[in-house]
Amino acid sequence: MSTPAPTSNVHLWVRAEQRPREERVGLTPSGAAELIAKGFRVTVEESSQRIIPIAEYTAVGCETAPEGSWEDAPADAIIFGLKELPETGTPLKHRHIMFGHAYKGQASGRVLLDRLKAGGGTLYDLEYLTLENGRRVAAFGYWAGYAGAAVSGLAFAAQAKGETCPPVDTFPSAEAMAQAVRDALGGATPSALIIGALGRVGTGAADLCERAGISVTKWDMAETASGGPFPEVLEHDLFFNCILASPGCPVFVPESAKTAERNLRVIGDVACDPQSDFSPVKVYDHETSWAEPVVRAHDNPVLDVMAIDNLPSLLPKESSEDYASQLLPHLATLNRIDDDVWGRAKAIFDENV
């Protein structure tokens, strides 16, 4: 007797990312195949920049749609992307899965919530998909740390030549990224202090440093419990902040560090929240970019800060595969969207909208 095919009423629509040079995707072809086997309908938009070719999705049974056509998707489709939507101001009628950046007072976030309210849509924010203990079910943190340490290493190498860090672009692999830092350092072995070394972000930063020949001192909550000051930060060549700003967070790099006697030359603020009152790095006030990876906080002695806010995008293949594998078990429960992680995310949306 044959087993009946699984059934599901879920239509997952993977949209093309609109943010320039955003090559990541939250569902791989193998993951799509698993969902289709469970009875899901999966539509993947064509994309001019996605790291995974559309042919790999069609090969496993996905339907395709033109790039940017999600607004015309069936009303019951769940629209899945990573980064922000184009700011057209149109009402949003669908259920959306993405990083909304909408619940911490951001101006663009309020606009997004107003569009969803006007259209009757819903946001399931990827940042707020959590287990009952509050831990996020999926995160890009490891690759943020890895890439952040790499760009900071490149900045240190550039300083040694009397230069500033050149523009960066996507790397074909994590090993290629580490090799680029090794080559730039040319045998130099700078020292780095990582705060938050036991977390995903700090682990990624430490792994890059170890592959690139940067010696690492690993700190976490135990080492910072005193509340500071922390002269050890200034004794290292590089410092990586790998913890999110929050009330009560100690200051790791005060503004006075600019003119203090120090070995510190490069700060990799991977957490990158300079506008927050709680930021533990007080020597700069704005994010950096791929085109200008560092901001020079002080000239003599030189102090550069790397604060790129989309670091995992520099490694689109590894970061997509890792994130998608973490998220897939929860995407598979979208047929119970009112329960568990999805129900908690919906409750947060309802509170904020």
25 Rama class: left (phi>0) / alpha (psi -120 to 50) / beta: beta
- For residue 148, list its beta bridge partners: none
| Percent of the chain clearing pLDDT 70 (strictly above) | 98
SS3 of 41, please? Answer: strand
Type of residue found at 195 = I
* Whether residue 12 has pLDDT greater than 60: yes
| 313-335 tens-digit pLDDT | 999 999 999 999 999 999 999 99
pLDDT (average), residues 152-181: 97
Contact predicate 254/234, CB 8 Å? no
Average pLDDT, the chain: 95
- DSSP H or E segment with residue 202: helix 200-212
Joined together, the tokens standing for residue 187 give: 């045998």
Q: What are phi and psi of 220, to 5 degrees?
A: -145, -150
State the burial class of residue 273 (Cβ atoms within 10 Å of its Cβ: 0-12, 13-18, 19+): buried
68 Rama class: left (phi>0) / alpha (psi -120 to 50) / beta: left
* Whether residue 244 has pLDDT greater than 90: no
Contact predicate 323/138, CB 8 Å? yes
Q: Where in the sequence numbering do the catalytic residues fall?
A: 83, 101
Which pLDDT does position 245 carry in this prediction? 83
Helix axes 200-212, 141-160, angle to 10 degrees: 40
Confidence of residue 7 (pLDDT cuts 50, 70, 90): low
Confidence of residue 86 (pLDDT cuts 50, 70, 90): very high
Interacting residues of 263 by C-beta distance below 8 A, sequence separation 6+: 191, 234, 235, 236, 237
| 184-226 tens-digit pLDDT | 999 999 999 999 999 999 999 999 999 999 999 999 999 999 9
| 118-131 tens-digit pLDDT | 999 999 999 999 99
Confidence of residue 6 (pLDDT cuts 50, 70, 90): low
